[in-house]
Structure 1
Amino acid sequence: MEYDVVVLGAGPTGENVADRTRAAGLSTAVVEGELVGGECSYWACMPSKALLRPVIAGSDARRVPGLRQAVGGPLGTEAVLAHRDEMTSHWKDDGQVSWLDGIGARLYRGQGRLHGPRRVVVEGPEGEHHVLTARHAVAVCTGSRAALPDLPGLNGARAWTSREATSAHAAPRRLVVVGGGVVGTEMATAWQGLGSQVTLLVRGQGLLPRMEPFVGEHIAKSLTEAGATVRTGVGVAAVNRPDPGGPVTVVLDGGELIEADELLFATGRAPRTDDIGLDTVGLQPGSWLSVDDSCRVDGHDWLYGVGDVNRRALLTHQGKYQARIAGAAIVARARHCPLLETDRWGAHAATADHDAVPQVVFTDPEAAAVGLSLAQARAAGHRVRAVDKDLAAIAGASLFVDDYRGRARMVVDLDRQIVLGVTFVGPGVSELLHSATIAVAGEVPIDRLWHAVPSYPTISEVWLRLLEGYRDGADGGDGTDDGADGGDGTDGDTDGTDGRGGRGQGG
């Protein structure tokens, strides 16, 4: 069978590539070996946020006068898990298959592998084979998977990854979580709130190391207050579960033993490219794909790597963004039109991957950031100043919950007078992020931001406080408003997703 475009992977990224190419009239085939909708719809963001929302809402409600007594009891774990199942469409993809059919894309179920340039061989679930040829482009949108460390005893320990953590049907009595990135902190928050006794083990010195250091400090304090044990600077040496139905023992580097009923490793991601035939086109199996800003794989004029596989930003919303860029580029090249908009912020350039990646971590409190941290901005050679403000001093925050605790930081480029990055941590801050994203992506001058008036009394008034802090201390220095320093931006695992089982394009 011959198509204009063949897409490997039917997660939100692949769905968006198919949507763009079909809308332009290009015939498109989509190959998927699991569920249409991908990781985000069934094992990541949708189920994880369904688990987290009641935990966070309950925590907020217990700090609102008049609600405190009404929500004093434990969460109804069974009801939460049942709602989680609804949000994943009970791990059935009928709705998303219907959506694909509705846009006119042809779905092939099975394992798809490249077999030389522009050719994909699909091995179906019943052993059938299909050979698909792409006239214009093959888009690899196969995503990523959990990466597990090489530890003694881990193979037989039946450890959880993010998939098991988001699809479990009961709260374990004792849960050990290894890893202080997004998956680790979110799942520690969720299962602690659902009744598990959680121990969070982090090899580094803080949580969420890609964000500003104060973010991890706030979340670690909140987890501890909720009853979890948070230990930093510790590594795992071995794992032992002699009885498949019994407890698991975690051996720390110093020999200390910790026993748990379940063990979650949230220690990073790896590309799903090990079995898709990369070697047949001169690429290394199992590798991340190096791409240009239109997501075209380096050295190949017909091959695209979109979403997690290119490691630019392992977030579903960024994968969907890249898919829109790549889809537009594929269409333009198929029509033999030159790509005239490949400069920064052009229609065929995924510039936000470099300068304006937004991310929310749905812990309690929430964390939200876009653009560069203070340390990242300095490392990139910018002359910057950061302004920090206590969110508890904002009138809207004091109305949101009692004893509000949170912080905001704005990083300003002193030479261009624009915002390079913004970070928030505190209850409800996820809804502050898009305004910050617009400021960063739009490179809005500081002087113009004064005219973006936040409504009173909302937490968004923090923008006024940040601008006032910058105005009152704008002396060309590179310190922060209160002397706090930025972090070192070290690597951490990420897994942001936002799909839903019953709809196309990842929700």
Structure 2
Amino acid sequence: MSEKETRTYDVVVIGAGPVGENVADRTSAAGLSTVIVESELVGGECSYWACEPSKALLRPALLYREAARFPGVGSAVTGRLDVPAVLKHRDRMVADWNDRDQVDWLDSAQVDLIRGHGRLAGPRQVTVHTPEGGAVRLAARHAVAVCTGTSAALPPLPGLDTVRPWTSREATAAGDVPRRLAILGAGVVAVEMATAWQALGARVTLIARESRLLGRVEAFAADLVAERLREAGVELRFGTTITAAERAGGPDDGVHLTLADGTRLVADELLLATGRAPRTADLGIETVGLTPGRWLDTDDTFTVTAVDGAWLYAVGDVNHRALLTHQGKYQARIAGAVIATRARGATLDTGKWGPHAGTADLEAVPQVVFTDPEIAAVGLTTEDAARTGRVVDVVDYDIGRVAGAIQHDPGYRGRARVLIDPQRGVIVGATFAGAGVAELLHSATIAITGEVPIDRLWHAVPAFPTISEVWLRLLETYRDQQNSAAPGEAG
């Protein structure tokens, strides 16, 4: 087939990260011919520059800190982390930035792969510019799914072109530990990388325009993380930002930073963790009436609402609904089912929690922040409830009072909070902060998505002694709150 001919598939997927792979897997399994287009490594940002390498850097740091605090173990923990071994582990977790296994998986799923930069060229049309300088034209009978994700959003900082700053990619892929690392930002990337690189030997300064870390989680959880970062030696500077940056002289002279409060400091590397931008600037979306560089708005079936014909889908981070890999994969499973159902001419079931609706994006988005301590959250926070006018009962409990937590760490510091809808008697939000709480998150997610009544949760018995016993303590606390609020009832 010549490059001028058009190759026709049922489905064309642009972007072979976890989201694109899941869309392609679902449509191919439904019997639809599917091709996926990727300009970089198959497996995408998460596999090579985000989720996998960051957690590979963080796990040794968190394990070391837990062991150093534990009676009878701390005295045996001597010296610093073995940095070369940690970095080698990180490299192994990203397969040395080789996507051969991922390509083999696509082949096993009967999904064709075209390497190159894909751009829309009109309705249901995609042109792929290949690394060899050629072009491949694709046509989609049923759907084009845009799964291009996001890239780092850089601030308009004077001198940025000379600084050569780190983004999340450089921060997770670096081969050497900087002696001094400055981080601009207060979100997940900022705090996780501060945790990891400080443990590996860097002197870290975190600079945040905000007044606290992690503005989207409960304040008590963010405060615990800030406390531990300070204890570890990270300098936190809140309420300011960088106004100028310059990499003066040779590479050993570092980056000279000027802050809004007049402070000057020098770092060997500057990590900009100031948000994400959609990868739509060079996607050809103007050919279907959309504006390049903007997020792609969708309905709950992940169909792009501004394009007629129900053929263009935006799945994962690019639609700005929930910028998390696992949530993007959830969207991909639904979008794949939607595409297959429409291809059969069948009717969609888009009711709440239906198979063709991304309800969890609105009701129950789970997230773990892999810091010391961990933060695990799903559903509403108290700030969400206040902002939207939702009436909720707030229930807090000190996780360190649970027997399983004391077994985990006699000096355990942590806290749990659940938000309960008093009218329906169900949990609508949960946040846990403490060591090992990531494993509590799925039970909270099930409680919210299943709308499990509080009365039924009393019959979900936590094993003793585990940290999950905090669920029973939260229920008991809520019962006591209700009793104390009811006049004339015995306590």
User: Which TM-score applies when normalising by structure 1?
Assistant: 0.93
Determine the C-alpha separation between the residues in 2 that align with 1:240 and 1:395: 52
Aligned pairs (5 A) from 1:134-153: 134-153=140-159
Match of 1:52 in 2: 58
Match of 1:203 in 2: 209
Query: Which residue, out of 10, 19, 33, partners 1:13?
Result: 19
Aligned pairs (5 A) from 1:23-34: 23-34=29-40
Query: Which residue, out of 269, 272, 288, partners 1:265?
Result: 272
Determine the C-alpha separation between the residues in 2 that align with 1:243 and 1:391: 51
Q: Percent identity?
A: 60
Match of 1:356 in 2: 364
Does residue 332 (structure 1) correspond to residue 341 (structure 2)? The answer is yes
| Superimposed CA distance per residue, residues 231-259 of structure 1 (whole angstroms, 9 cap, x where no aligned partner) | 11111111111236130011101221011
Match of 2:488 in 1: none
Does residue 297 (structure 1) correspond to residue 304 (structure 2)? The answer is yes
- Say which SS state the counterpart of residue 133 (structure 1) adopts: strand
Aligned pairs (5 A) from 1:203-282: 203-243=209-249, 245=251, 246-282=253-289
| Superimposed CA distance per residue, residues 352-411 of structure 1 (whole angstroms, 9 cap, x where no aligned partner) | 000000000000111110000012123222211111111111111111013110011000
Does residue 317 (structure 1) correspond to residue 323 (structure 2)? The answer is no
Determine the C-alpha separation between the residues in 1 that align with 2:31 and 2:76: 56
Pairwise CA distance, 1:472: 0.7
Q: Is the 8 A contact 2:399 2:434 kept in 1?
A: yes
Match of 1:379 in 2: 387
- Structure 1, unmatched stretches of 5+, are 478-507
- Structure 2, unmatched stretches of 5+, are 1-6, 486-491
Aligned residues: 476
Q: Is the 8 A contact 1:160 1:265 kept in 2?
A: yes
Query: Which residue, out of 432, 444, 447, partners 2:440?
Result: 432
Does residue 97 (structure 1) correspond to residue 103 (structure 2)? The answer is yes
Aligned pairs (5 A) from 1:109-120: 109-120=115-126
Pairwise CA distance, 1:66: 2.3
Matched to 2:23, the amino acid is V
Query: Which residue, out of 341, 352, 374, partners 1:344?
Result: 352
Match of 1:306 in 2: 315
Pairwise CA distance, 1:65: 2.2
Query: Which residue, out of 151, 168, 173, partners 1:167?
Result: 173
Match of 1:284 in 2: 291
Match of 1:395 in 2: 403
- Whose RCO is larger (CA < 8 A, sep 6+)? 1
Match of 2:79 in 1: 73
Pairwise CA distance, 1:128: 1.2
Matched to 1:237, the amino acid is T
Does residue 183 (structure 1) correspond to residue 189 (structure 2)? The answer is yes
Pairwise CA distance, 1:475: 6.3
Q: Is the 8 A contact 1:343 1:349 kept in 2?
A: yes
Determine the C-alpha separation between the residues in 1 that align with 2:140 and 2:183: 44
Matched to 1:397, the amino acid is A
Determine the C-alpha separation between the residues in 1 that align with 2:114 and 2:347: 32
- Say which SS state the counterpart of residue 317 (structure 2) adopts: helix
Pairwise CA distance, 1:6: 0.1
Q: Is the 8 A contact 1:63 1:402 kept in 2?
A: no
Match of 1:501 in 2: none
Over 3 Å counting, the alpha-carbon distance change for 1:186 and 1:2 in structure 2 is same
| Superimposed CA distance per residue, residues 32-84 of structure 1 (whole angstroms, 9 cap, x where no aligned partner) | 00000000000001000000000001111112222212222210011000010
Over 3 Å counting, the alpha-carbon distance change for 1:475 and 1:381 in structure 2 is farther
Determine the C-alpha separation between the residues in 2 that align with 1:115 and 1:292: 23
- Say which SS state the counterpart of residue 207 (structure 1) adopts: coil
Aligned pairs (5 A) from 1:470-481: 470-474=478-482
Determine the C-alpha separation between the residues in 2 that align with 1:14 and 1:278: 18
Query: Which residue, out of 466, 473, 479, partners 1:465?
Result: 473
Does residue 108 (structure 1) correspond to residue 117 (structure 2)? The answer is no
Matched to 2:418, the amino acid is M
Aligned pairs (5 A) from 1:364-375: 364-375=372-383
Does residue 409 (structure 1) correspond to residue 421 (structure 2)? The answer is no
| Superimposed CA distance per residue, residues 227-286 of structure 1 (whole angstroms, 9 cap, x where no aligned partner) | 111111111111111236130011101221011111101010000010010100000001
| Superimposed CA distance per residue, residues 434-453 of structure 1 (whole angstroms, 9 cap, x where no aligned partner) | 11111111111111111111
Q: CA RMSD in A?
A: 1.0
| Superimposed CA distance per residue, residues 182-215 of structure 1 (whole angstroms, 9 cap, x where no aligned partner) | 0000000000000101011111111111000011
Determine the C-alpha separation between the residues in 2 that align with 1:442 and 1:258: 51
In terms of fraction of residues, the more helix-rich structure is 2
Determine the C-alpha separation between the residues in 1 that align with 2:40 and 2:250: 27
Runs of 4+ in 1 over 6 A off after TM superposition: none
Determine the C-alpha separation between the residues in 1 that align with 2:305 and 2:376: 32
Match of 1:38 in 2: 44
Determine the C-alpha separation between the residues in 2 that align with 1:244 and 1:169: 19
| Superimposed CA distance per residue, residues 459-495 of structure 1 (whole angstroms, 9 cap, x where no aligned partner) | 0010011111111112697xxxxxxxxxxxxxxxxxx
Q: Is the 8 A contact 1:113 1:276 kept in 2?
A: yes
Match of 1:495 in 2: none
Over 3 Å counting, the alpha-carbon distance change for 1:98 and 1:448 in structure 2 is same
Larger CA Rg, structure 1 vs 2:
2
- Say which SS state the counterpart of residue 424 (structure 2) adopts: coil
